[in-house]
Copies of this chain bind each other. A is one copy, B any other.
Amino acid sequence: MNLPPLSQAFVLHFGEMGSRWGINRTVGQIYAVLFLAERALNADEICERTGFSRSNVSMGLKELQSWNLVRLQHRPGDRRDYFATPDDLWAIVRTLVAERKKREVDPTLSVLRELLMQPAATEADAHAQARMREMHELIELLTSWYAEMERMETDRLVQLLSLGARVGQVLEFKDRLFGAVTRKREPDDGARPRPTDEEA
């Protein structure tokens, strides 16, 4: 590994963390190197900085591309591929979240939907299905919220995040102005605290 000390510490850490996320050490380190780099790097430069073999780097870059986490660039008069991360960190976060959702929650959602279609044969299956239905509803709520955040402009998103729990106060304020409209909904409409609710 051939990097200035601070960068090296960061890259090493990202390698470790890589294994806690779905990606592996190699991929984590490669990404960290690109993230810190002051310009796009070609595969050999990445080899030099990380100390990984050429083929390992190639694999890692392919993986990162499949995650849409790196951008491919070219230089005039140079046939080599150059790789870079987006400058805008929010863009990175957005693709990261999108990809993790695609890999970690979407498959579960579709399995749940499928299993909820099936008729419950046994008593135990009926209970299991009730439990799955709860999970399905919760995930639906979270993903549809996410879908709306995703659509939002970064500035506004940041504004919302900075506001934090104070959004609650803004809401209360709104309620006070337009109270009648909001209060019309059932109070437990979204919360659904009852655990078993067999409307099979």
Residues of A that sit less than 8 Å from B by CB: 4-7, 9-10, 13, 17, 20-22, 35-36, 38, 87-90, 93, 103-104, 107-108, 111-112, 115, 118, 120-122, 124-125, 127-129, 131-132, 134-135, 138, 141-142, 144-145, 148-149, 151-152, 154-156, 158-165, 167-168, 170-171, 173-174, 188-191, 193, 195
Q: Is the CB of A89 within 8 A of B170?
A: no
Choose among B89, B120, B151 the residue that contacts A135 (Cβ–Cβ < 8 A): B89
Residue among A112, A122, A191 with max Cβ neighbours from chain B (10 Å)? A191
> What's the number of copies of this chain in the assembled complex?
2
Alpha-carbon distance between A110 and B61 when the two chains are bound, in angstroms: 27
Q: Is the CB of B165 within 8 A of A120?
A: no
Considering the complex, give the chain B residue whose CB is closest to the CB of A193. B88
Q: Is the CB of A9 within 8 A of B115?
A: yes
Choose among B9, B164, B171 the residue that contacts A144 (Cβ–Cβ < 8 A): B164
For A152, the chain B residues whose CB sits under 8 A away are 165, 168
For A4, the chain B residues whose CB sits under 8 A away are 121-122, 124-125, 128
